[in-house]
Copies of this chain bind each other. A is one copy, B any other.
């Protein structure tokens, strides 16, 4: 085997490394809890008792505590000393701050569409389409998920792994808010058409136009969300 092709082989194997990565029990527990929180099984304010959850999942208290630490750091859980961990409850101020971050990051990211990795644009299109399909099926929860993916894809345009990771967290936090509202349709359906329009502007290379429309989206979504949320948290 010639040396060049050896290098090619090892290169491709290195890319496979992520596939075979085993994970610790702690990480798997964290993943499960994260899913249950973002899907709404555990709701904001719920207390997660170590012994109850530990025996339910069949893991020891120590392992569970490590998982709790991870999720607290992600702001999904709220660890109060000597009192236990609770599913995070966002204040209105938190929602405002989350949208400040979104506006800053997303609006800047969308201006980088021309230099964006190809995958990002593809994800953008896929998100728009899967949202529209979900809407024709009246699957409003799926519409919400697609909407999240749309905005995640917007951030991908900036081409920074750390920014994507940060946005994953920001959107996960926002899910905590969505779940205390009972009507996902109201909060997601109106934005389907707008996502399609934004995509068009991006593909046309209209930086100012796409940013303006995205900014308008965020402002309106924030107003709607804060309005409904401030009534509930009183």
What mask results when residues 62 to 76 of chain A are scored 1 for a CB within 8 Å of chain B, else 0?
100110011001100
Partner of A160, one of B23, B66, B104: B104
What mask results when residues 11 to 27 of chain A are scored 1 for a CB within 8 Å of chain B, else 0?
00000000001111010
Find out whether the CB atom of A163 lies under 8 angstroms from the CB atom of B104. Answer: yes
Q: B residues within 8 A CB of A101? A: 160, 162-163
Find out whether the CB atom of A81 lies under 8 angstroms from the CB atom of B158. Answer: no
What mask results when residues 168 to 193 of chain A are scored 1 for a CB within 8 Å of chain B, else 0?
00100000000000000000000000
- Does chain B have a CB within 8 A of A48? no
Q: B residues within 8 A CB of A74? A: 73
Tallying the copies of this chain within the complex gives: 2
Partner of A26, one of B69, B158, B160: B69
Which of under 10, 10 to 19, 20 to 34, or 35 or more describes the interface residues of A?
A: 20 to 34
Q: B residues within 8 A CB of A170? A: 162
Q: B residues within 8 A CB of A35? A: none
Shortest C-beta distance, A111 to chain B (Å), equals 10
Bound state CA distance, A105 and B160, in angstroms?
A: 12
Find out whether the CB atom of B163 lies under 8 angstroms from the CB atom of A81. Answer: no
Partner of A166, one of B70, B81, B161, B166: B166
Find out whether the CB atom of B104 lies under 8 angstroms from the CB atom of A109. Answer: yes
Find out whether the CB atom of A100 lies under 8 angstroms from the CB atom of B70. Answer: no
Interface residues of A (CB under 8 A from B): 21-24, 26, 62, 65-66, 69-70, 73-74, 81, 97-98, 100-101, 104-105, 108-109, 158-163, 166, 170
| Interface CB pairs A-B, < 8 A, 16 | A21-B81, A23-B81, A24-B81, A65-B66, A69-B69, A69-B70, A70-B73, A97-B161, A100-B163, A101-B160, A101-B162, A104-B108, A104-B109, A104-B160, A104-B163, A162-B170
Known: A62-B65, A65-B66, A104-B160. 10 other contacts (CB 8 A): A22-B81, A23-B81, A24-B81, A97-B160, A97-B161, A97-B162, A100-B160, A104-B105, A108-B108, A166-B166
